[in-house]
């Protein structure tokens, strides 16, 4: 009734139209009522923490008054459906109520046929500066739309996102699937660029040089060179500006350092522009060993280090302790000469345990039977094991089929960021595909399970999994989704199984085989969620197994002929639809 005004006797009441703020408040009130109805009706299970792929910790689920009953009452199926519908409606109302008012409200009413000259009467500063966006010359309405509704004027962009608007002119900045891209450029160009004018080149909001966040645009997101340890080292090139080495919009094939790091040139060509390989000081520092063609980043961090001379985080003991002569003889004719002509035999003088593992493994890795330096750098690396050129590409040199997987839109972090050895035993193991666990579920739940328990190595700023065999960055689990599973159920919905469905009358009989690989790909996918066959996360995907859920049931409410398979199951030993089993 609050939408109507009072009326005198003999007059009809007139309806007042609430403004946009009032409408949004009404929607919020409705959403709160729906949520309160749900809360007072159903006592949820204990609190569960969720963390999504972007690393943002979400609120606890079930932050409601505790029930006085010891055993929670589980609602009937029809009630659960009603609750889920209410939750969906509440979410929609809250989202709608939180939306901006279709565009920013202009402080001054404008005419419908307003032009750019009128805009510049107040916004003349947008057209003046050292670097003015060329679009200014085409007029404000080339990017902005003015909407006039009675006495309210709103101004919005002519596209949904800033990126879509920018790419309508800057077509050369478009990136093809499978290519590298600077994360802010994925959606929000104006995070780095002022869309009108700036005192910096290409309308950057700040300069690309400077030692603090207030001065340096790049340090708004990156903290490189800011907190160097007392005994550490910092690359002097940082003071020359990030654009000394980087081109932010240089994109290309994934897996190539030049494009992954958006470098002006590949390494070592970029490094030797400043560092003369014939400099006497550099030659002495490298023990007069040839280094001009080496990958500088294998031993050196290009930005900062906790160690002197920008040394990488992980160093091979003989190299770290300057025992070069334990492996090297003086160089001859500009070439490296080892103390043992057989590099593998040289490595095994210290690493004999690895030789035994390689030879005795139930499942052997052919690549491990060759030269150690085919995979490992003998000096240093940015990750444990000193894999070269990095823990991913060390494997892709032989496993070209997985290199193709890297071209997909969504990559699994352990596979294409941390390295293949996160899940696979590189020197041989007891399980198929050299996996670190006997079953897919046991492997995946080492990180994603509710009982995942990575151990911290405080001094090394690492965490370990698989009983200390795999070492990962200390912040690795910040981006890992941990599933609220109970008794093999709970993903992707509350009571959905993630383990084999067995016959209740014969626990040794599997009615349907289910594991993580039934729905997910382990390495990469075309859509978020890494679903099999690059499918989208929608009902069509679920129907590959649950098609029977949409079929009308017969008079006997789903009764089946004797000997028929139960609905939603498949004959024993038959691979499930929409996935594979191991």
- DSSP code string of 136-196: GGG-GGGTEEEEEETTEEEEEESSSSHHHHHHTT-GGG---TTB---GGGGT-GGGTB-SS
The domain boundary residue, chosen from 52, 70, 98: 98
Q: Which of 237, 238, 335, 232 is nearest to 293 (CA)?
A: 335
Q: Which of 94-108, 246-260, 285-299 has the lowest mean pLDDT?
A: 94-108
Which pLDDT belongs to residue 555?
A: 57
Burial zone of 380 (CB within 10 Å; 0-12 exposed, 13-18 middle, 19+ buried): buried
pLDDT higher than 80, residue 47: no
At 478 the three-state DSSP class reads: helix
How far is CA 166 from its chain centroid?
Answer: 24
Query: Pairing mode, if any, of strands 462-465 and 152-157?
Result: unpaired
Q: Which of 60-74, 334-348, 502-516 has the lowest mean pLDDT?
A: 60-74
How many CA atoms within 13 Å lie on the side-chain side of 40?
5
Put residue 379 in one of left, alpha, beta given phi > 0 → left and psi -120 to 50 → alpha: alpha
In a domain, 554, yes or no: yes
Distance (Å, whole) CA 516 – CA 435: 14
What percentage of the chain reaches a pLDDT higher than 70?
77
pLDDT higher than 90, residue 568: no
How far is CA 326 from its chain centroid?
Answer: 42
* Mean pLDDT of the 140-166 span: 90
The domain boundary residue, chosen from 34, 69, 98: 98
Q: Indicate the pLDDT class of residue 378, thresholds 50, 70 and 90.
A: very high
In a domain, 528, yes or no: yes
Distance (Å, whole) CA 224 – CA 238: 9
Distance (Å, whole) CA 460 – CA 76: 51
Give the number of other Cβ atoms within 10 Å of residue 394's Cβ.
25
* Mean pLDDT of the 262-274 span: 95
In a domain, 73, yes or no: yes
pLDDT higher than 60, residue 199: yes
In a domain, 493, yes or no: yes
In a domain, 496, yes or no: yes
Distance (Å, whole) CA 513 – CA 491: 15
**Domain, as residue range, for 80:** 20-98
Q: Indicate the pLDDT class of residue 95, thresholds 50, 70 and 90.
A: low
In a domain, 357, yes or no: no
pLDDT in tens, 71-80: 334 344 444 4
* Exposed e or buried b per residue across 452-476, where buried means at least 16 C-beta atoms within 10 angstroms of its C-beta: eebeeeeeeebbbbbeeebbbeeeb
The answer to whether 309 and 300 have CB atoms below 8 angstroms apart is yes
Highest mean pLDDT among 29-33, 103-107, 369-373: 369-373
- Give alpha helix (H) positions in 14-115: 20-41, 77-98
In a domain, 4, yes or no: no
Give the CA distances from residue 181 to residues 177, 197, 222, 301, 431, in Å, rounded to whole numbers and listed in that order. Answer: 10, 24, 16, 22, 37
Q: Indicate the pLDDT class of residue 91, thresholds 50, 70 and 90.
A: low
Which pLDDT belongs to residue 238?
A: 92
Which pLDDT belongs to residue 463?
A: 95
Q: Indicate the pLDDT class of residue 30, thresholds 50, 70 and 90.
A: low
Which pLDDT belongs to residue 83?
A: 47
How many domains does the chain fold into?
2
Which pLDDT belongs to residue 105?
A: 87
Give the number of other Cβ atoms within 10 Å of residue 26's Cβ.
15
Distance (Å, whole) CA 538 – CA 543: 9
Which pLDDT belongs to residue 553?
A: 64
Which pLDDT belongs to residue 459?
A: 85
Q: Which of 306-315, 439-448, 476-485, 552-561 has the lowest mean pLDDT?
A: 552-561
Which pLDDT belongs to residue 185?
A: 86
Q: Specify the pTM.
A: 0.67
Which pLDDT belongs to residue 113?
A: 87
The domain boundary residue, chosen from 63, 83, 98: 98
What percentage of the chain reaches a pLDDT higher than 90?
58
The answer to whether 494 and 504 have CB atoms below 8 angstroms apart is no
Which pLDDT belongs to residue 21?
A: 43
Which pLDDT belongs to residue 411?
A: 93
Distance (Å, whole) CA 303 – CA 326: 30
pLDDT in tens, 273-284: 999 999 999 999
In a domain, 487, yes or no: yes
pLDDT in tens, 240-263: 999 999 999 999 988 889 999 999
Better pLDDT: 310 or 24: 310
Structure tokens at 265: 């040139």
* Mean pLDDT of the 105-128 span: 89
Which pLDDT belongs to residue 15?
A: 38
At 408 the three-state DSSP class reads: coil
């Amino acid at each position: 009734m609050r939408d109507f005004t009072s009326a005198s006797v003999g007059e009809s009441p007139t309806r007042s139209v609430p403004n946009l703020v009032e409408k949004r408040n009404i929607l919020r009130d409705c959403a709160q009522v729906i949520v309160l109805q749900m809360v007072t009706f159903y006592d949820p299970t204990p609190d569960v923490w969720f963390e999504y792929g972007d690393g943002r910790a979400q609120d606890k689920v079930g932050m409601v008054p505790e029930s006085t009953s010891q055993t929670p009452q589980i609602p009937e199926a029809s009630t659960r459906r009603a609750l889920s519908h209410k939750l969906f409606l509440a979410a929609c109302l809250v989202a709608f109520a939180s939306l901006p008012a279709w565009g920013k409200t202009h402080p001054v009413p404008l005419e419908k046929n307003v032009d750019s000259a009128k805009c510049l009467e107040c916004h003349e500063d947008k057209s003046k500066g050292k670097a003015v966006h060329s679009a200014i010359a085409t007029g404000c309405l080339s990017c902005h739309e003015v909407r006039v509704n009675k006495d309210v004027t709103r101004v919005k962009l002519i596209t949904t996102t800033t990126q879509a608007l920018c790419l309508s002119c800057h077509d050369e900045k478009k990136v093809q699937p499978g290519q590298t891209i600077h994360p802010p450029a994925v959606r929000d160009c104006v995070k780095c660029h002022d869309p009108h004018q700036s005192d910096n080149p290409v309308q950057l909001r700040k300069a690309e040089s400077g030692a603090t966040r207030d001065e340096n645009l790049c340090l708004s997101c990156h903290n490189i060179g800011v907190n160097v340890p007392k005994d550490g080292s910092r690359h002097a090139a940082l003071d020359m500006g990030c654009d000394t080495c980087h081109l932010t919009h240089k994109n290309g094939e994934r897996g190539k350092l030049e494009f992954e790091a958006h470098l002006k040139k590949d390494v070592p060509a970029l490094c030797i522009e400043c560092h003369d390989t014939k400099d006497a000081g550099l030659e002495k520092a490298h023990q007069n060993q040839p280094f001009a063609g080496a990958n500088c980043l294998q031993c050196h961090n290009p930005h900062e280090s906790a160690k002197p001379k920008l040394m990488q985080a992980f160093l091979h003991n003989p190299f770290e302790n300057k025992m070069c002569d334990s492996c090297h003889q003086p160089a001859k004719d500009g070439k490296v000469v080892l103390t043992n002509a057989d590099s593998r035999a040289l490595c095994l003088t210290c690493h004999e345990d690895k030789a035994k593992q390689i030879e005795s493994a139930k499942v052997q890795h052919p690549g491990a039977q060759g030269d150690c330096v085919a995979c490992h750098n003998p000096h240093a690396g940015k990750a444990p094991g000193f894999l070269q050129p990095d823990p991913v590409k060390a494997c892709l040199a032989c496993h070209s089929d997985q290199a193709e997987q890297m071209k997909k839109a969504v990559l699994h972090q352990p596979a294409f960021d941390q390295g293949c050895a996160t899940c696979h035993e590189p020197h041989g193991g007891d399980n198929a595909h050299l996996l670190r666990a006997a079953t897919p579920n046991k492997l995946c739940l080492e990180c994603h399970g509710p009982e995942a328990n990575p151990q911290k190595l405080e001094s090394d700023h690492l965490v370990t999994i698989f009983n200390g065999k795999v070492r990962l960055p200390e912040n690795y689990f910040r981006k890992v989704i941990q599933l609220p599973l109970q008794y093999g159920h709970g993903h992707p919905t509350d009571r959905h199984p993630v383990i084999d469905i067995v016959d209740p009358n014969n626990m040794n009989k599997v009615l349907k085989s289910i594991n993580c690989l039934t729905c997910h790909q382990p390495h990469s996918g075309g859509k978020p969620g890494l679903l099999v066959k690059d499918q989208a996360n929608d009902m069509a995907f679920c129907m590959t197994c649950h098609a029977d859920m949409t079929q009308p049931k017969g008079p006997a409410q789903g009764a089946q002929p004797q000997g028929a398979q139960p609905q939603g199951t498949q004959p024993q030993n038959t691979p499930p639809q929409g996935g594979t089993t191991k």
